[in-house]
Structure 1
Amino acid sequence: MKKSLLLIVDVQNDFCPGGNLAVKGGNEIVPLVNKMAKNHEHVVLTQDWHPADHSSFASQHPGHAVYSQIEMSYGPQTLWPDHCIVGTRGAEFHKDLDAPHAEMIIRKGFRKAIDSYSAMYENDHKTPTGLEGYLRARELTKITIVGLAFDYCVRYSAEDAQARGFEVEVIEAATRAIDLNGTAIETKRSFAERGIKLT
């Protein structure tokens, strides 16, 4: 029997209604995520964890609007509202998230000069978060992914995990999308092309 992990991505205040980068309906997934967590022995959480002057924030690039794109050393970068800043309420997990048996929290995006969507790698696709080493050490071969947002951090976590040889399933009802210029549809297309299971 394959050993599986539930990966809960960025269920944080800033990605829920009222947050600085709110995903529509982001809070609605919490009860289902909690139910799934109770049914998984192995659970890992990710947490967006930015310094206040992070390079992905539009506020750090005068003349550039939120959601515009710029070129960084590692490729194109969407500029976001200031969000999930270390030590702020926005960076905290949603108060109703209930996964006390989670074995690890992967904090990502804490390097000022590089953003991080994936739970596996930063946006240069080279700098590891440490999750893969954990999975290999624990002999976990299947990853079920839930959380926020479907078309960014969930998407790139799923694609990177599959590329590294893990069996990946994304639970659509337990995610919500930002859907920036069609990114939700593009994510579904990418999953279909790669053979990533969207349940």
Structure 2
Amino acid sequence: MANFRPALIVVDLQEDFCPPNGSLAVTNGRDIVTLINKLLASPFVVRIATKDWHPQDHISFAINHQGKKPFEDIITIVNPLNESETNDSRLWPVHCIQGSPGAELIPELHASQLDLVLEKGTDPRVEMYSPFYDPFTSPRVYDSGLTKILKDKQVTDVYVVGLAADYCVKNAAIDAAKEGFKTYLVEECTRAVDPSAWPECKREIETSGAKIVSMDGPEVSRLMTAQ
């Protein structure tokens, strides 16, 4: 269909986010890979995986803040280019260090079908859940170039899957919609760090204009019949 040019974004399906050994393992995070591989076999214009790719001194690591604990503590991050702009962010265990085994995509993922692997979270000064850009705007600190990649491919629709539902996947879907793409988050293909927070996250995602869909829904079925 000439007016349907879909892209797939597989968010952070990395060892550190998956059981049994991930330092920030999402419960049942590994279980989504079979369905994601099924999607990868569909006729997308472009298939992109993202990876958290943090330096050791990343601001999101609790160990880099004296007396702070992962999961429990929240800090205020100041835009390094504009001290009047701030963002509150949760602190995490050390995860997805550049070049480490924990930063690798899980081997079950059919990575040979990917067209691009995009690394994010490389600037130690800012948190970056979204694969598009950091949360600051005045000015933005880091832009991955993902919007340009998708627009250069004349993508119309973006399908988002991966980990974790309530953080990076949520922000990927929200920003894809913000950039003007018809955006679908495939619910069976994600898991949340905090499942109790997922209903509120779903409302936030849908308010942004993105749509939460099912593997057996028409939005996914359409992929199977796209030419």
Q: Is residue 76 from structure 1 mapped to residue 78 from structure 2 by the alignment?
A: no
Q: Whole-Å Cα distance in 2 between the matches of residues 95 and 101 of structure 1?
A: 13
| C-alpha displacement of 1:124 | 2.1
Please tell me the residue identity of whatever aligns with 1:49.
W
Percent sequence identity is 38
Higher-Rg structure is 2
The answer to whether the 8 Å contact 1:6/1:40 transfers is no
Are 1:36 and 2:43 matched, yes or no? Answer: no
Deviations 1:4-60 (A, max 9, x none): 001000000000012000000000001110110011332001000001121110000
Q: CA deviation at 1:77?
A: 1.3
Counterpart CA distance in 2 for 1:192 and 1:112 is 30
Amino acid paired to 1:34: N
- Supply the RMSD in Å over aligned alpha carbons: 1.3
- Deviation of residue 128 (structure 1)? 1.4
Structure 1 stretches of 4+ with a deviation exceeding 4 A read none
**Cα shift readout 1:131-152 (whole Å, capped 9, x = no counterpart):** 0000111101110000000010
Normalising by structure 1, report the TM-score. Answer: 0.95
Q: Following TM superposition, by how much is the alpha carbon of 1:105 offset from its aligned partner in structure 2, in angstroms?
A: 1.3
Could you tell me how far apart the structure 1 residues matched to 2:43 and 2:127 are?
Answer: 29
The size of the alignment, in residue pairs, is 198
1:148–1:177 CA contact under 8 A, matched in 2: yes
Partners of 1:38 and 1:99 within 8 A in 2: no
Partner of 1:120: 132
- Shift, 1:159, TM fit: 0.4
Given the two structures, how large is their TM-score scaled by the length of structure 2?
A: 0.84
User: In structure 1, what is the equivalent of residue 219 of structure 2?
Assistant: none
Partner of 1:3: 5
Report the secondary structure of 1:160's partner residue: helix
Gaps of 5+ in 2: 79-85, 214-227
Gaps of 5+ in 1: none
Residue in 2 aligned with 1:172?
187
Task: Provide the secondary structure at the position in 1 that maps to 2:112.
Answer: coil
Cα shift readout 1:62-100 (whole Å, capped 9, x = no counterpart)? 111112101010310110000000111100000111031
